[in-house]
Chain A
Amino acid sequence: MIKISIDKAKAGMKITKDVVNEAGMVVVPAGRELTDSLIDKLSMMNVEFIYVEGQKDLPPKEEVFAGIEKRFMKAKDAPTLLIKKILESHIEELYK
């Protein structure tokens, strides 16, 4: 599931989370497929974001890890190295 702004929405995308209006009422239920007229309707209702099926565009994992290595080049103390280790496992999770 990814979150996209309404101007990036395209017909055929599948809604994965109920779209609600300002009063909190469900206007498009999860599972519905977007159509051009539905997108227009949502824009008119000032809906800014929707959740649709898909994978986030992530940069190549090796690149991300190389960046972390470089940024932490000067860190030698235990707490900062712990932060690095936690960050690496967090990034690992993002690619699962």
Chain B
Amino acid sequence: MNVQEVLARIDKIENLPTIPPILRKILTVIEDPRVSLQKITDFVSSDPILTARILKMVNSPVYGFPGRISSVNHAMVILGLNAVKGLLLGVSVFDIMKKSMVGLWEHSLSSAIFARIISNKKELPSPEEISIGGLLHDIGKVIMIIAFKEEYSEILDSVSQKEAYLFEIERETFGITHAEIGGIVAKKWNFPLKLVEPIMYHHRPQLSEKFQMETAIVHFSNILALARGIGYSGEEYVPSIHNFAWELLKLKAEDIQEIFKEAEEPISDSGEVFLSDE
């Protein structure tokens, strides 16, 4: 299969029979570049499952907001339009992650937790948005499962046997990796560059242009989540941290120790919240 064929199928993903209805429904809303916060609020409020999932997510240890957020309106105000769009996408792929790639949701959640903690440590202004980058960094894998279920399952099975990185096998097979595919769809769905770059370059942070720090954080969060061994992302081996990200983040050994420590409770708590879902 060559890159053109892969991209052609991904481009028509909304029309594939394998796309879940909830995702199709959400895409019609978030794809609109002029969509307002009010319109998204109304859309979410009209759907009880979406409402429950969004509230569950904002009240989960992934974000660690103090106090309870009990309305969609309140959640929207706290998170802002971009994070809400990302979160909607996250909760709408939850089912596919749960069904088609057991463990990917847990890996995504723990990456989101690490991303939030590192962003706070670096005193960045919007840790929630970067955390959404962590939550969605592997969205390309979900897309691959929707578009190429059989081929992708074979690739996943070959990781241990080849003792290779998943993203390397993807490149050999498809000529492109899940990171780039995720970035391409995020762009197509009108996500802000602040989310597109971390998704697109989470395996090659040195290629990011405008959001280098955000990308470096998501790159590092993925590595920490893999290292800690939470969930399953298809990747069996921890990839090396890229020197570009390492230099940019400038984290000391004590910082990393604190990050692991701080992540421990939210990671085990969020597992419990979402395993007992619905």
Interface residues of A (CB under 8 A from B): 3, 5, 7, 22, 49, 56, 64, 67-68, 70-77, 79-80, 82-84, 86-87, 89-90, 93-94
A90 touches B240 (CB 8 A): no
25 A–B contacts from the bound complex (CB under 8 Å): A3-B265, A3-B269, A5-B276, A7-B276, A64-B229, A70-B236, A71-B236, A72-B237, A73-B163, A74-B237, A74-B239, A75-B238, A75-B240, A77-B241, A79-B243, A80-B223, A80-B240, A83-B238, A84-B227, A86-B253, A86-B256, A86-B257, A87-B227, A90-B257, A90-B264
A72 touches B229 (CB 8 A): no
Whether A83 touches B264, Cβ cut-off 8 Å, given contacts A5-B272, A72-B238, A76-B240, is no
B257 touches A71 (CB 8 A): no
A68 touches B229 (CB 8 A): yes
Q: Which residue of A lies closest to B257 (CB)?
A: A86
Whether A22 touches B276, Cβ cut-off 8 Å, given contacts A71-B227, A79-B241, is no
Q: How far is the CA of A80 from the CA of B149 in the complex (A)?
A: 32
A46 → B minimal CB distance (Å): 9
Which residues from 222 to 249 on chain B have a C-beta closer than 8 Å to any C-beta of chain A? 223-224, 226-229, 236-241, 243, 246
Q: Across the interface, which residues of A come within 8 angstroms of B264, CB to CB?
A: 90, 94
Q: Contacting B165 at CB < 8 Å: which of A70, A72, A74, A87?
A: A74
Is there a chain A Cβ closer than 8 Å to B25's Cβ?
Answer: no
Whether A56 touches B223, Cβ cut-off 8 Å, given contacts A71-B236, A74-B165, A75-B238, is no
Q: How far is the CA of A49 from the CA of B273 in the complex (A)?
A: 10
Q: Across the interface, which residues of B come within 8 angstroms of A80, CB to CB?
A: 223, 238, 240-241
Q: Across the interface, which residues of B come within 8 angstroms of A84, CB to CB?
A: 227, 238
Q: Which residue of B lies closest to A85 (CB)?
A: B253
A72 touches B227 (CB 8 A): yes
A90 touches B261 (CB 8 A): yes
* Bitwise interface map of B from 251 to 271 toward A, beta carbon under 8 Å scored 1, else 0: 001001100110011001100
Determine the main DSSP class of B at the interface with A.
helix
A49 touches B269 (CB 8 A): yes
Beyond the given A22-B68, A77-B241, A87-B228, could you list 18 further A-B residue pairs with CB under 8 A, ordered by the A residue number? A5-B272, A49-B269, A70-B236, A71-B236, A71-B238, A73-B163, A74-B163, A75-B240, A76-B240, A79-B240, A80-B238, A82-B256, A83-B223, A83-B227, A83-B256, A87-B227, A87-B260, A90-B257
B59 → A minimal CB distance (Å): 8
Determine the main DSSP class of A at the interface with B.
helix
* Bitwise interface map of B from 196 to 223 toward A, beta carbon under 8 Å scored 1, else 0: 0000000000000000000000000001
Interface residues of B (CB under 8 A from A): 67-68, 163, 165, 223-224, 226-229, 236-241, 243, 246, 253, 256-257, 260-261, 264-265, 268-269, 272-273, 276
Q: Across the interface, which residues of A come within 8 angstroms of B68, CB to CB?
A: 22
Q: Across the interface, which residues of B come within 8 angstroms of A83, CB to CB?
A: 223-224, 227, 238, 241, 256
Q: How far is the CA of A73 from the CA of B164 in the complex (A)?
A: 10
Q: How far is the CA of A56 from the CA of B261 in the complex (A)?
A: 15
Q: How far is the CA of A65 from the CA of B227 in the complex (A)?
A: 11
Q: Across the interface, which residues of A come within 8 angstroms of B228, CB to CB?
A: 87
Q: Which residue of B lies closest to A49 (CB)?
A: B269
A85 → B minimal CB distance (Å): 8
Q: Contacting B238 at CB < 8 Å: which of A5, A74, A82, A94?
A: A74
Q: How far is the CA of A87 from the CA of B259 in the complex (A)?
A: 10
Q: How far is the CA of A90 from the CA of B276 in the complex (A)?
A: 28
